Amino acid sequence: MCQQKGRNSKITSMLTDNFIPSSCDIICGKGKDCYDHIGNKWFRHVVSLYTDEYIAAGENKFKKIKVVSDIFNKVQESENNTGFVSKDRRSGEWRAVSVTRAREKIGHELRVIVSRREKKAEKSKKLYHEAQKFRRLYVIQQAIFVELKAKSDMEIALVQDEEMDEVQCTMMEDNVIKEIDDTDLMYMLGLD
């Protein structure tokens, strides 16, 4: 392995010509191939285990640096691990990246995970408030329905009462007519 100056003047080490990243290596780079590499998936899992500690560090830079160091050490402890590697775009050769670049990748991944958590929490909060709003609207709707039903029942009862009154009046008129004898009827008609 020979050392060369790489991106941002950070020292990188060229790996052997036949090097192929293992499942324990973390590929530094962009694109789907890097993201989907099994070592990078494992790396994101490891970083996620330290995210709560990173968030708890708040604005304390030293605590955040310690979290990054803990993750870096965890990655370096794994067996069959070259660590953080990248592929040179021009030559196509694999290189072990510098400690500085590896720490930058860890810090970046921590910030990405924290950002995703915050967005997810915000989305959950928004959904919760939407659900609460719909619950309140449902309760109001049910109250209006009950009130309308009560009014409707009352109107039906009033109509039924009016109909009963009419029936009773008709029955009373019928009874009065039945009580009138023939002489009274002739008198009323002016035939007497």
Residue-wise pLDDT tens digits, 49-95: 999 999 999 889 999 999 999 999 988 887 667 689 888 888 888 88
Query: Binning pLDDT at 50, 70 and 90, where does residue 1 land?
Result: very low
What six digits make up the tokens of 49? 């285990």
147 within domain boundaries: no
Q: How many residues does the chain have?
A: 192
What six digits make up the tokens of 98? 């510098």
The arithmetic mean of pLDDT across residues 108-118, rounded, is: 92
Q: Which of 89-103, 132-146, 156-170 has the lowest mean pLDDT?
A: 156-170
151 within domain boundaries: no
Cβ–Cβ under 8 Å, residues 72 and 63: no
DSSP helix/strand/coil, 11: strand
pLDDT at 147: 82
16 within domain boundaries: yes
**Residue 12 to residue 88: CA distance in whole angstroms:** 11
102 within domain boundaries: yes
68 within domain boundaries: yes
Contacts of 188 (CB under 8 A, 6+ apart): 180
156 within domain boundaries: no
Q: Tell me the residue range of the domain where 38 lies.
A: 3-128
User: How many domains, in total, are found in the chain?
Assistant: 1
Average pLDDT in the chain: 81
64 within domain boundaries: yes
Cβ–Cβ under 8 Å, residues 26 and 105: yes
The count of other CB atoms within 10 Å of the CB of residue 110 is 22
Place of tokens 């500690």: 53
Per-residue pLDDT reduced to its tens digit, 153-185: 777 777 777 777 676 666 666 666 666 666 666
pTM: 0.60
H or E element at residue 179: helix 99-179
Identify the top-confidence range among 12-26, 76-90, 127-141, 149-163: 127-141
**Residue 176 to residue 11: CA distance in whole angstroms:** 120
